[in-house]
Amino acid sequence: MEMMAYKSSGLKTWIRRICFMGIGVCALANPMDFFNIYNILFGLIIGLFFGFLYRRFLGVFLNLFNQQLKKERGNAVIKEAVEMCTDPQKLDLKI
């Protein structure tokens, strides 16, 4: 079986990061003082942190339940699965 290495493009990586930043800004937005620069900056940092945490948790979760696959094919399979899960456009689902 041939394995194809999957690596997301730089633009998609930045779009993913910006989306997590937007989620962080929206979560910490104050309706009475919406344009407070400190809330916006803190929201950007929190969004980046939770984006990193999401990818790390997904990798640990997949690694935990796929030990046999990791032994057979190596750690690159888990990294590729995490990349594909965070880029749903590349999932090729044929039903």
What is the Cα–Cα distance from 49 to 41, expressed in whole angstroms? 12
Range(s) of the domain holding residue 57:
10-87
Assigned domain for 63 exists: yes
Residue 1 in domain: no
| Band of residue 86 on the pLDDT scale cut at 50, 70, 90 | confident
Q: How confident is the model over 2-59, as pLDDT tens digits? A: 555 556 677 888 888 899 999 999 998 888 888 899 999 999 999 999 999 999 999 9
Identify whether 5 is part of a domain: no
Q: How many domains would you assign to the chain?
A: 1
Question: How many C-beta atoms surround the C-beta of residue 72 within 10 A?
Answer: 9
Bigger pLDDT: 84 or 73? 73
Tell me whether residue 94 is in a domain. no
**2 lies in some domain:** no
Do 58 and 88 contact (CB within 8 A), yes or no? no
